[in-house]
């Protein structure tokens, strides 16, 4: 629902820097956004307030929040000390929110977009935060009926957090390719693997691939400039796909599509966690790290949007395209030294087909959008840690060939 800002922006920045300086390395928290659906028609349904009121009477109330529209809800793991704990919390939160939803005859979806429900029919929830966003963004915010998965990773040290942020921006396309789950929107096959990314990052201001800041002071100067010029009036209006968070001492990765399958959601979050930790470790050990120009990261981001895990990403060292799967396997090898340490290793892997690929394959077989989406909704409701859905994707061990 937006983390409400306390005090002036100058106080916010000073407090945030202090929190980073005293922060804890490699804590992790995961946020998942779910569509609220009529279980009969699978249309988006405006029942957030009802479901939130029910959650408020439980012991996990603080982990359930609103996210823009009344047909969406977000669940949060809360801060976890390692990924094994986060994975368990993800399963627990899904079970809790699905239990409350079923009692109220609400279904939940978790693909990055709804395949056919109209954005014109959705209602923005009535909070000060979202009223302000509505007033500022108008059509941009009305159009954003999308569902993602965000990962917060604790990084100790303000300068170190910026260094990690600056490296992570290079890997946003790989994260997106792995996560792609939204080929269908507005009742059409978009031809994209992540229509969500095209809708969200191409429409919102201060969204998508950020610049590398180089130092905490440069980050502070940028945030201060936005406030002084009236470009923003609260810190949550900085929507970059990776960002140093201004309410918590974390670097937040925000590029990923929502995941219907719990096991794939856990695997994706584990990859984000391990990648951030590996970037920090490389920085500490003075390992050479990429600092790609914005235009090159964007080139790979487009490839991830269009072709997802089925396509190719550019290897800038070799100056040639490589299969996205091969690139992800390469990164799994790179993060392996820290993955065990943070509890992520058992969850890492690349599926034979991700959610976008499975949906596209079903469409090519002649299945209707409703049939395909119903399969994804059923997958999101499975409480097992095993893959579910139209086709259970096998996993490739980290380091194996593509």
pLDDT at residue number 7: 82
Phi, psi at residue 46, to the nearest 5°? Answer: -80, 80
Give CA–CA dist 222/237, Å, rounded.
13
Q: Does residue 55 contact residue 79 with C-beta atoms inside 8 Å? A: no
Dihedral sign computed on CA atoms, order 290, 291, 292, 298? positive
**Average pLDDT of the residues in 99-124:** 97
Report whether pLDDT(398) > 50.
Answer: no
Report whether pLDDT(85) > 90.
Answer: yes
- State the pairing for strand pair 72-76/107-109: unpaired
Give CA–CA dist 192/189, Å, rounded.
8
Structure tokens at 116: 């056919």
Q: Does residue 146 contact residue 194 with C-beta atoms inside 8 Å? A: no
Alpha-carbon dihedral 18, 21, 24, 30, rounded to 10 degrees: 60
| Residue (of 316, 283, 265, 249) closest to 12 by Cα position | 249
Give CA–CA dist 89/287, Å, rounded.
33
15-67 pLDDT, tens digit each: 999 999 999 999 999 999 999 999 999 999 999 999 999 999 999 999 999 99
Structure tokens at 90: 């993800």
Report whether pLDDT(1) > 60.
Answer: no
DSSP SS3 for 113: strand
| Residue (of 280, 278, 267) closest to 331 by Cα position | 278
Please name the residue ranges forming H helices in 185-293. 195-203, 216-228, 262-284
DSSP at 258: P
Report whether pLDDT(399) > 70.
Answer: no
DSSP at 382: -
Q: What are the structural domains, with CATH classification, of the chain?
A: 9-396 (3.30.590.20)
283-338 pLDDT, tens digit each: 999 999 989 999 999 999 999 999 999 999 999 999 999 999 999 999 999 999 99
């Amino acid at each position: 629902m937006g983390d409400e800002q306390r005090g002036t922006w100058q106080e916010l920045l000073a407090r945030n820097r202090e929190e980073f300086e005293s922060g804890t390395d490699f804590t992790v928290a995961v946020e998942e956004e779910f569509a609220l659906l009529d279980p009969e028609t699978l249309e988006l349904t405006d029942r957030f307030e009802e479901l939130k009121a029910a959650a408020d009477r439980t012991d996990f109330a603080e982990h359930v929040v609103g996210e823009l529209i009344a047909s969406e809800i977000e669940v949060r793991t809360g801060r976890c000390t390692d990924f094994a704990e986060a994975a368990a919390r993800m399963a627990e939160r899904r079970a809790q929110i699905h239990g409350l939803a079923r009692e109220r005859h609400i279904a939940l979806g978790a693909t990055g977009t709804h395949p056919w429900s109209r954005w014109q029919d959705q209602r923005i929830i009535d909070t000060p935060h979202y009223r302000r966003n509505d007033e500022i963004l108008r059509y941009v915010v009305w159009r954003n009926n999308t569902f993602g998965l965000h990962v917060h990773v604790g990084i100790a040290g303000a300068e170190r957090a910026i260094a990690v942020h600056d490296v992570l921006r290079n890997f946003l396309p790989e994260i997106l390719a792995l996560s792609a789950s939204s080929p269908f929107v507005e009742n059409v096959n978009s031809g994209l693997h992540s229509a969500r990314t095209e809708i969200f990052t191409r429409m919102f201001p201060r969204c998508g691939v950020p610049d590398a800041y180089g130092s905490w002071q440069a980050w502070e100067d940028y945030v201060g400039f936005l406030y002084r010029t009236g470009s923003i009036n609260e810190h949550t209006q900085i929507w970059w796909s990776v960002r140093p968070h201004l309410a918590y001492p974390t670097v937040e990765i925000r590029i990923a599509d929502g995941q219907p399958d719990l096991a794939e959601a856990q695997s994706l979050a584990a990859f984000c966690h391990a990648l951030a930790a590996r970037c920090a470790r490389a920085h500490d050990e003075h390992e050479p790290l990429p600092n790609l120009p914005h235009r090159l990261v964007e080139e790979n981001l487009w490839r991830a949007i269009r072709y997802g895990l089925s396509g190719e990403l550019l290897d800038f060292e070799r100056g040639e395209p490589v299969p996205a799967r091969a690139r992800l396997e390469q990164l799994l090898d790179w993060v392996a030294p820290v993955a065990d340490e943070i509890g992520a290793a058992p969850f890492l892997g690349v599926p034979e087909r991700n959610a976008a690929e499975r949906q596209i394959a079903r469409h090519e077989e002649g299945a209707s959008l409703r049939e395909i989406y119903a399969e994804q909704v059923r997958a999101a409701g499975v409480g097992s840690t095993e893959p579910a859905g139209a086709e259970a994707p096998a996993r490739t061990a980290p380091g194996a060939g593509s």
